[in-house]
Amino acid sequence: MGWAVARAIDMLVWAAIFLLIAVVLVFAGIRVGTDGPLIVTGTAAEGDTFELRYVANPWLAYLHIVPGVFYLIGAPLQLWRRFRERHFAFHRRFGRVLLTLGLVSGVFALGFGVPFSYGGAWQSLAAAVFGSWFLVSLALAYRAIRGGDVRMHRRWMIRAFAVGLGVGMIRIWVGIFAGFQILSLEESFAPAFWLGLSMHVVAGELWLWWRPNEDGLPRRAALEPVVE
Ligand code: HEM
């Protein structure tokens, strides 16, 4: 494949990443705008509304959403090769912060998403499966870098990020199903979770197949041991 084609694909992937992050930010903003006033004034959401669960369980919900949003905004900086190479000390320090944010968000994706899903049991199952995959990927990425294996660190971090980004794809599927009245909003959630997140796991694997290694990245890095 020519250099120009590879570069065009890179640009498209980055554009998709920023678009999906923007989608997540819009929905996080809507959440805060809707739930915030009710939570602050201690008012319960009325009836069978979507926000009922967020307002009734603000700690579980926002310990998922807030760290998740910061993780998603910060991660592209870690994945951007030129920035990483120029600011390696920052990459390490910021990486620890983002890892913690991702783990907290993932734990509360399970803590909130499994018992309080809007779309029922199939959505809960998707949250359990992909939430665990997200946590395992982050943990294995950390273990790899502690052992000096940069290649595996990259692979697991890309897998984790692909799932995190899938959250934006879920909203797109909900928009298609509910917007075109193929399903009700409630019925849209479970298929949107399964479709959106599995598409992203596959996309992550395709990327890793196409780019098994970044140019010049050694199989084992000549890293000095990480000092805490
Ligand atoms: C790491 C980046 C993540 C961010 C920024 C994020 C953000 C959000 C936001 C903004 C909501 C509120 C949705 C809305 O009002 O439309 C939400 C809900 C939810 N998220 Fe995440 N999330 C992330 C990762 C994950 C992961 C990896 C999972 C596991 C599969 C997950 C599972 C859920 C579940 C189950 C809900 C509840 C949906 C419902 O209302 O029923 N999230 N997330």
- pLDDT of 213 reads 81
Q: Return the axis-axis angle of helices 58-79 and 150-179, rounded to nearest 10°.
A: 120
For the Cβ of 105 lying below 6 angstroms from any atom of ligand 1, the answer is yes
- pLDDT of 141 reads 98
For the Cβ of 113 lying below 6 angstroms from any atom of ligand 1, the answer is yes
Q: What is the pLDDT of residues 10-26, one digit of tens each?
A: 999 999 999 999 999 99
Indicate which residue's Cα is closest to atom 29 of ligand 1: 131
For the Cβ of 69 lying below 6 angstroms from any atom of ligand 1, the answer is yes
Q: Is residue 100 part of a domain?
A: yes
- pLDDT of 77 reads 97
Distance 61 CA to ligand 1 centre (A): 9
For the Cβ of 63 lying below 6 angstroms from any atom of ligand 1, the answer is no
Q: Is residue 218 part of a domain?
A: no
Q: Is residue 41 part of a domain?
A: yes
Q: What is the pLDDT of residues 110-161, one digit of tens each?
A: 999 999 999 999 999 999 999 999 999 999 999 999 999 999 999 999 999 9
DSSP assignment letter at 228: -
In whole angstroms, give the CA distance from residue 25 to residue 108. Answer: 18
In whole angstroms, give the CA distance from residue 196 to residue 200. Answer: 6
Q: Is residue 227 part of a domain?
A: no
Indicate which residue's Cα is closest to atom 36 of ligand 1: 113
Q: Is residue 90 part of a domain?
A: yes
- Structure tokens, 72: 């998603």
Q: Which structural domain range is residue 38 located in? A: 3-210
For the Cβ of 164 lying below 6 angstroms from any atom of ligand 1, the answer is yes
Q: Which residues contact 170 (CB under 8 A, 6 or more apart)?
A: 189, 192, 193, 196, 197
For the Cβ of 117 lying below 6 angstroms from any atom of ligand 1, the answer is yes
Q: How many domains does the chain have?
A: 1
Closest approach atom of ligand 1 to CA 171: 16
Closest C-alpha to 126, from 183, 170, 171: 170
Q: Is residue 224 part of a domain?
A: no
In whole angstroms, give the CA distance from residue 114 to residue 126. Answer: 9
